[in-house]
Amino acid sequence: MVLFCIEMIIVTGAVGFIGSCLIKKLNEFGIGSIVAVDDFSNPEKNKNLVNKTIYKQVERFEFIENPGAFGKPDFIFHIGARTDTTEFDTALLQKLNTNYTIQLWKYAAEHNIPFIYASSAATYGLGDNSFDDDPKFLPTLKPLNPYGQSKHDFDLWAIKQTKTPPFWAGLKFFNVFGPNEYHKGRMASVVMHGTSQIRENNSIKLFRSHHKDYQDGEQVRDFIYVKDVLDVLIYLYNSRPESGIYNLGTGKARSWNDLAKAIFGSLNKTVNIQYTDIPADIRDKYQYFTEAKMQKLVQTGYNRAFTTLEDAVADYINNYLLTLSYY
């Protein structure tokens, strides 16, 4: 794949999970003129930038005060956000997720800069509209938590704008997992936590089902490997199809039991799953099914197959988690 000749790229969320992987992917294509924007106060998180080529590091609030102070970028990847689904400080989420993105959008629109931002599948809530990224469904969505609402608020704002970047895409990330999430603590993927549990106790804990239509561990999610996310980001960066909001999952839901079995298989361990009750305070907000409708992205010409769950888990565990390596 040949990338456009780009002089400078902004990546927000640069030391985060997806943002740092994106910088590595851009470096692989020979792009090092990257302004990395983030909160750099966490030494553990900063390890994600080791051995990556960037032009400049800029604190996120310093950057948004005057984005043009660091040179005019040719493309903006806005991946940074407050992503904690248990965060209930709505003012903080509005500031970091909704308002920050509005400011960056306006800058991109004013200066004619292509703009990709991270939305979230959390905007779908229980998925009453079948996780369809058709914008006609946006006003009907009901996120289950303040994080999802903060992302949804921006999506609603974006589709109403008449002054836009020359190309823009909002990506509703589904359950992304992969390397560079060591810093995420409780918000890290079940692959990471499950690998630790199995290595320590030869067992893994999953939530029991409290829904009559689902057996324990048969709740399903659309799990997508971060390397597949990167491929889509590079595709959009290159092809710039019709602007809009796009789902980013695999389009194929898999159960938590499937995920657990893939982890055990990658570790050459006997399957031993223990089920625990979903905490009562989140039980009514628990999603039993998520699956991205991916036709919209495919119709733009994207035809690359997504990595199977088993292959993705094996790559993540064997090439990163077992050696504590970074992408």
Domain containing residue 210: CATH number: 3.90.25
Give a yes or no: residue 2 inside a domain: no
Note whether 18 and 86 are same-domain residues. Answer: yes
User: What are the φ/ψ torsions at residue 224 (nearest 5 degrees)?
Assistant: -130, 135
C-alpha span between 212 and 146 (Å, rounded): 28
The whole-number pLDDT of residue 5 equals: 52
Note whether 46 and 138 are same-domain residues. Answer: yes
Q: What is the DSSP letter of 74?
A: S
pLDDT digits (tens, 9 = 90+) for 11-34: 999 999 999 999 999 999 999 999
Q: Pick the catalytic residue: 117, 124, 147, 320?
A: 147
Cα end-to-end span (Å), the chain: 20
Residue 54 lies in domain: 9-177+223-251+292-308
Selection from 66, 292, 2 nearest residue 172 by Cα: 292
Task: Answer yes or no: 163 catalytic.
Answer: no
Give a yes or no: residue 321 inside a domain: no
Q: Pick the catalytic residue: 47, 184, 227, 269?
A: 184
Task: Answer yes or no: 285 catalytic.
Answer: no
Percent of the chain with pLDDT over 90: 89
> Parallel, antiparallel, or unpaired: how do β-strands 273-276 and 204-207 relate?
parallel
**pLDDT for 243 beyond 80:** yes
Task: Identify the three-state secondary structure at position 247.
Answer: strand
Note whether 281 and 296 are same-domain residues. Answer: no
Kindly report whether the global pTM for this prediction surpasses the value 0.85. Answer: yes
Rounded to whole angstroms, what are the CA distances from 92 to 82, 169, 177?
A: 8, 24, 25
**pLDDT for 3 beyond 70:** no
Selection from 57, 66, 131 nearest residue 104 by Cα: 66
Note whether 55 and 145 are same-domain residues. Answer: yes
Note whether 96 and 202 are same-domain residues. Answer: no
Report yes or no: 122 and 147 within 8 Å, Cβ to Cβ: yes
Please state the rounded mean pLDDT for residues 136-163: 96
The whole-number pLDDT of residue 293 equals: 97
Note whether 203 and 137 are same-domain residues. Answer: no
C-alpha span between 156 and 243 (Å, rounded): 14
Give a yes or no: residue 99 inside a domain: yes
Q: How does residue 71 score in pLDDT terms, banded at 50, 70 and 90?
A: confident
Note whether 150 and 49 are same-domain residues. Answer: yes
Give a yes or no: residue 229 inside a domain: yes
Note whether 84 and 170 are same-domain residues. Answer: yes
